[in-house]
Chains A and B, each alone.
Chain A
């Protein structure tokens, strides 16, 4: 192959490649200027867990351990306790409540089995996804980090509306 043919061939390849690139420039952007702009997450996104409370502010969790049993990475640790107080003064909805509820995010794989196992709808996945820490021990989140009343929600996400099309690109396929 002569040098001239080589030059021609490579020029054509560059033009071919760049034409694809340039054709995308006028189209809608997929990238987000995170963290200046909030990321849009799906309504069913599996972020950091939330422990829910009922309308009186009592924890819904009854410490049945089913989430811990369902967890494939064994990241949930619970200690149950008895709450003898009157129903309206209790920590939880039932006499039985979780004294300690820890999730180790160093192990969690966000599979959602715990949410599926929960008979009381007490645990769901939230949308917080900024879980990186400087100290590995901080990956262990306690009940106070997980309770919906106490967990600080990040400003850097926006939940998509249910009819909103956030990733049509994938749906086209």
Chain B
């Protein structure tokens, strides 16, 4: 949008608005109420609901303000008898076929149609004809559908196409018979549920929260998602001590993700109130024995005694402290403090899938925010698969390409779904991602890189040329495939490609909600696999918050430890080795902060009281420290811990909870920007590693299935019954009329039973 201003007169008042602004936005910004259903910011225009009609002088008929771009000297009337009559008639037509079932509709109370009917509806309905009855049904385990309630605004189809790039939900038939549906009646998409979120009526509904509660009964708490590193802002709806649902509806929350959430964020919450949550502290008094419930006092005392004994006998470094990238900054800080100041061990690590430490050490430019990605001109994605692992990033890329005209350059060994948006797809051999970093650094090694990656050298030339010719933002993204040296090289790219009118932004595709925060708070940066290898050799006791990742489990050496303490939500493979298990509180039960892959520090807020006897992770560590003779001196609030983080960690300096209050204006961590440096050593290292790769690896030519990562069952998603259906391939049930959960038994393999109705 240009900075040039034009004059628009709305209701006899003059406004200076930027040229190219949309009339409906201008009116709303200036507090002229314009009702609409189909208009949705940043989606393709529809102009089908015709509620936003306004009178524009010199135009013959009433105009839809959502399709009008402001021009100089435009004179607009938004309120008049004529307009009111038109809007009232429009709403009457919309309601002609809408059933009067608000009492059973899950949207009742937060329904846009209901709200506009209060404003523009007539008291009596003049249509006495039979309504066009259509039965309620399910479109997938997650999405329930009542076609009769639909007003055909097509927000869902546009969101599915433009945000998700899936086109899974579409309008069928014509005219008055148009219905929103899907191919074959069953949705085989990524089940993000964004169609549910944007639906202004009760047509598409959350199948997991069906008929559970009503929106005004729920307490809405703004919090941050606990799954991937995008850090979506969402609203937790709780009733009493139960977390009922999660939405990102803009009436409750307005974060960096807008109304976007993915399947995990939206539906992956039932673990919070799950019956398998650990209820009390558990102690295994004898190796090989059972975990026995104990009181907090006893468990803390027992742990302190044992740790004291081991440290006295074997020295401080025989104890290791392991954190998890799923924990809050507060918990990770307390763990680090516990390691450094209480047991004074050097062995502290975070159990992340890959470390971004080399990247942040050489960081040569600012991190790209999701807003930057949306407005970027060129996006380079090396490895990774954001549509499965960081869905918001994938959505921003798609919109940047589709709505912003950005160029996407994809360097991947797999033709991932984003390939459809890619301007250039460099299809490389598996395991040769590091060669891409080599190619970015300069053309000296093009022959080697191209040979190993199995591409033409000219493709790499085009890649560098596209970046260096871009006017605007370039975002460099990379996944976990890059080696430490390659990360350092990519981190220095802002210097390599520096140029007039061009900004090079970096966006690491970290895997977990607080991977970046865990790294910010970690000083030693030891790798967790090194600590696990040393188990039983130099390390004899371990204190773990959260479990190990499945890839660490096979040869974890936990059985060789004399003493293992774990803080967990559920009994996992890791707690099977534990001598003491503390019940930890989940993200919905605590206050804290997560740092996402934009470097935004975002608040996690307490929605319900900790279930059973669980306690926040940081509090457990503080209590244990107190028993061991070191009082952290925190008041019983997470903000006190964060105050100390702000004092001790330079990147977090001056941050306070009150400053983080507004989720619509998140604050970025001030990561130290490294100065430009010679990369010869790193490049030589990559060259050596790349040269050792084989020349004849077979390229993967199949696009991976939707949900191959999203639907995987982890400790948390395992607690959502619907996820089991999806993980089993989302079988089509015999009847769409009732939830597939009641029809299909998953436990005994997929068994299609006779439908109940």
Q: Hey, which bits of chain A sit against chain B, CB under 8 A?
A: 62-66, 68-69, 79-82, 84-86, 94-96, 119-120
Residue pairs across A and B with CB atoms within 8 Å: the count is 46
Q: How far apart are B325's CB and chain A's nearest CB, in angstroms?
A: 36
Q: A64-B108, A68-B217, A69-B216 are in contact. Are A82 and B103 (CB under 8 A)?
A: no
A62 to B101: give the CA distance in the assembly, Å.
10
In the complex, the answer to whether A86 meets B757 with C-beta atoms within 8 Å is yes
In the complex, the answer to whether A82 meets B210 with C-beta atoms within 8 Å is yes
In the complex, the answer to whether B756 meets A85 with C-beta atoms within 8 Å is yes
A18 to B726: give the CA distance in the assembly, Å.
88
A65 to B103: give the CA distance in the assembly, Å.
8
Q: A82-B739, A84-B738 are in contact. Are A94 and B104 (CB under 8 A)?
A: yes
- Interchain residue pairs A-B with the least CB separation, the first 8: A64-B103, A96-B211, A84-B738, A65-B214, A82-B211, A86-B757, A84-B742, A96-B104
A64 to B213: give the CA distance in the assembly, Å.
8
Cβ-based interface call for B212 (8 A): yes
Q: How far apart are B211's CB and chain A's nearest CB, in angstroms?
A: 4
A80 to B757: give the CA distance in the assembly, Å.
21
Q: A84-B738, A85-B756, A119-B103 are in contact. Are A64 and B214 (CB under 8 A)?
A: yes
Q: How far apart are A119's CB and chain B's nearest CB, in angstroms?
A: 5
Task: List 9 additional A-B contacts (Cβ < 8 Å) besides A86-B757, A96-B211.
Answer: A64-B102, A65-B214, A79-B213, A80-B213, A80-B214, A81-B212, A82-B212, A84-B757, A119-B102
B residues less than 8 Å from A86 (CB atoms): 756-757
A79 to B241: give the CA distance in the assembly, Å.
13
Q: How far apart are A93's CB and chain B's nearest CB, in angstroms?
A: 10
Cβ-based interface call for B136 (8 A): yes
Report the nearest A residue to B738, measured CB to CB.
A84
A residues less than 8 Å from B103 (CB atoms): 62, 64, 66, 119-120
A82 to B742: give the CA distance in the assembly, Å.
11
A94 to B136: give the CA distance in the assembly, Å.
12
In the complex, the answer to whether A80 meets B212 with C-beta atoms within 8 Å is yes
In the complex, the answer to whether B104 meets A95 with C-beta atoms within 8 Å is yes
B:716-752 near A, CB below 8 Å: 738-739, 742
B residues less than 8 Å from A120 (CB atoms): 103
A residues less than 8 Å from B217 (CB atoms): 65, 68-69
A69 to B102: give the CA distance in the assembly, Å.
14
Report the nearest A residue to B106, measured CB to CB.
A96
A residues less than 8 Å from B108 (CB atoms): 64
Q: How far apart are B534's CB and chain A's nearest CB, in angstroms?
A: 52
Report the nearest A residue to B737, measured CB to CB.
A84
Q: How far apart are A99's CB and chain B's nearest CB, in angstroms?
A: 10
B residues less than 8 Å from A64 (CB atoms): 102-104, 108, 214
In the complex, the answer to whether A84 meets B211 with C-beta atoms within 8 Å is no
Most buried by B among A79, A86, A96: A96
Q: A64-B103, A84-B738, A86-B757 are in contact. Are A95 and B211 (CB under 8 A)?
A: yes
In the complex, the answer to whether A95 meets B136 with C-beta atoms within 8 Å is yes
B residues less than 8 Å from A82 (CB atoms): 210-212, 739
B residues less than 8 Å from A79 (CB atoms): 213
A residues less than 8 Å from B742 (CB atoms): 84
A143 to B666: give the CA distance in the assembly, Å.
47
A85 to B739: give the CA distance in the assembly, Å.
11
- Report the interface size class on chain B: 10 to 19
In the complex, the answer to whether B211 meets A63 with C-beta atoms within 8 Å is yes
A173 to B595: give the CA distance in the assembly, Å.
74
A80 to B108: give the CA distance in the assembly, Å.
14
A64 to B114: give the CA distance in the assembly, Å.
15
A residues less than 8 Å from B102 (CB atoms): 64, 119
A64 to B212: give the CA distance in the assembly, Å.
10
Most buried by A among B103, B108, B136, B216: B103
A residues less than 8 Å from B216 (CB atoms): 65, 69
A96 to B739: give the CA distance in the assembly, Å.
13
| Interchain Cβ contacts under 8 Å between A and B, 7 examples | A64-B103, A80-B213, A82-B210, A82-B739, A85-B756, A85-B757, A86-B757
A residues less than 8 Å from B104 (CB atoms): 62, 64, 94-96
Report the nearest A residue to B108, measured CB to CB.
A64
B residues less than 8 Å from A85 (CB atoms): 756-757
A71 to B214: give the CA distance in the assembly, Å.
15
Q: How far apart are B745's CB and chain A's nearest CB, in angstroms?
A: 14
Q: How far apart are B178's CB and chain A's nearest CB, in angstroms?
A: 25
Interface string of B197-216 (1 = CB under 8 A from A): 00000000000001111101
Report the nearest A residue to B735, measured CB to CB.
A84
A47 to B215: give the CA distance in the assembly, Å.
30
A residues less than 8 Å from B756 (CB atoms): 84-86
A residues less than 8 Å from B738 (CB atoms): 84
A residues less than 8 Å from B212 (CB atoms): 80-82
B residues less than 8 Å from A66 (CB atoms): 103
Q: How far apart are B368's CB and chain A's nearest CB, in angstroms?
A: 43
Q: A62-B103, A66-B103, A120-B103 are in contact. Are A84 and B739 (CB under 8 A)?
A: yes
Q: A94-B104, A120-B103 are in contact. Are A81 and B211 (CB under 8 A)?
A: yes
A residues less than 8 Å from B214 (CB atoms): 64-65, 69, 80
B residues less than 8 Å from A63 (CB atoms): 211
B residues less than 8 Å from A80 (CB atoms): 211-214
B residues less than 8 Å from A81 (CB atoms): 211-212
Report the nearest B residue to A87, measured CB to CB.
B757
A120 to B103: give the CA distance in the assembly, Å.
8
A69 to B215: give the CA distance in the assembly, Å.
11
A37 to B136: give the CA distance in the assembly, Å.
53
Most buried by A among B210, B739, B742: B210
A59 to B752: give the CA distance in the assembly, Å.
31
Report the nearest B residue to A68, measured CB to CB.
B217
Most buried by B among A66, A82, A85, A95: A82
A63 to B104: give the CA distance in the assembly, Å.
7
A69 to B756: give the CA distance in the assembly, Å.
34
B residues less than 8 Å from A62 (CB atoms): 103-104
A62 to B103: give the CA distance in the assembly, Å.
7
A166 to B757: give the CA distance in the assembly, Å.
52
Q: How far apart are A173's CB and chain B's nearest CB, in angstroms?
A: 37
A80 to B239: give the CA distance in the assembly, Å.
12
A68 to B102: give the CA distance in the assembly, Å.
16
Q: How far apart are B46's CB and chain A's nearest CB, in angstroms?
A: 31
Interface string of B73-110 (1 = CB under 8 A from A): 00000000000000000000000000000111000100
A80 to B214: give the CA distance in the assembly, Å.
9
A79 to B720: give the CA distance in the assembly, Å.
20
A residues less than 8 Å from B757 (CB atoms): 84-86
Q: How far apart are A68's CB and chain B's nearest CB, in angstroms?
A: 7
A73 to B180: give the CA distance in the assembly, Å.
43
Report the nearest A residue to B213, measured CB to CB.
A80
Report the nearest A residue to B216, measured CB to CB.
A69
A166 to B329: give the CA distance in the assembly, Å.
72
Q: How far apart are B239's CB and chain A's nearest CB, in angstroms?
A: 9
A119 to B216: give the CA distance in the assembly, Å.
17
Q: How far apart are B15's CB and chain A's nearest CB, in angstroms?
A: 40
Q: How far apart are B471's CB and chain A's nearest CB, in angstroms?
A: 55
Report the nearest A residue to B757, measured CB to CB.
A86
A63 to B742: give the CA distance in the assembly, Å.
21
B:187-241 near A, CB below 8 Å: 210-214, 216-217
Q: How far apart are B444's CB and chain A's nearest CB, in angstroms?
A: 64
A58 to B216: give the CA distance in the assembly, Å.
27
Q: How far apart are A85's CB and chain B's nearest CB, in angstroms?
A: 6
Q: How far apart are B740's CB and chain A's nearest CB, in angstroms?
A: 10
Q: How far apart are A58's CB and chain B's nearest CB, in angstroms?
A: 14
